Amino acid sequence: MSKTAEVNEAKFDEMVLKAKTPVLVDFWAPWCGPCKMIEPVVEALADEYKAKVSFLRLNVDDNPNTARQYGVMSIPTLMVFKNGQPVSNIVGFRPKPELSKVLDKALADG
Partner 1 sequence: MAELKKKYDVIIIGGGPAGLSAGIYTARARLSTLLIEKGGIGGQIINSEMVENYPGFTEGISGIELTQAMHQQAAKFGVETIYDEVTGIKVDGKRKTITTAQGEYIARAVIIAAGAERQKLGVPGEWEFTGKGVSYCATCDGAFFRDKTVAVVGGGNAAATEALELTRFAKEVVLIHRRNELRATLIMQERVKSNPKIKIFWDTVVLEILGNRSVEKLKLQNVKTKEETLLPVSGVFISVGSQPATGYLKMLLKLDTVGAIVTDEKLETSVPGIFAAGDIRSSSIRQVVSAAGDGAVAAVNAGKYISE
Distances (CA, A) of 56 to 16, 110: 8, 22
Catalytic annotation, pick one of 19, 32, 87, 102: 32
Residue 15, interface with partner 1 (CB under 8 A)?
no
The span from the CA of 84 to the CA of 70, in Å, is 12
The nearest distance, CB 20 to partner 1, in angstroms, is 28
Q: Is the dihedral of CA 64, 89, 23, 47 positive or negative?
A: positive
Exactly one of 2, 88, 89, 100 binds partner 1 (CB under 8 A); that residue is: 89
Using the contact rule CB under 8 A, the part of the chain among 11-19, 49-57, 73-81, 102-110 near partner 1 is 73-81
| 30 vs 84 by CB, closer to partner 1 | 30
Report the residue from 3, 11, 18, 36 that binds partner 1 according to the rule CB under 8 A.
Answer: 36
CB 42 within 8 A of CB 25: no
Cis previous bond, 76, omega within 30 = yes
Chain residues binding partner 1 by CB under 8 A are 29, 31-38, 40-41, 60-61, 67, 71-77, 89, 91-97
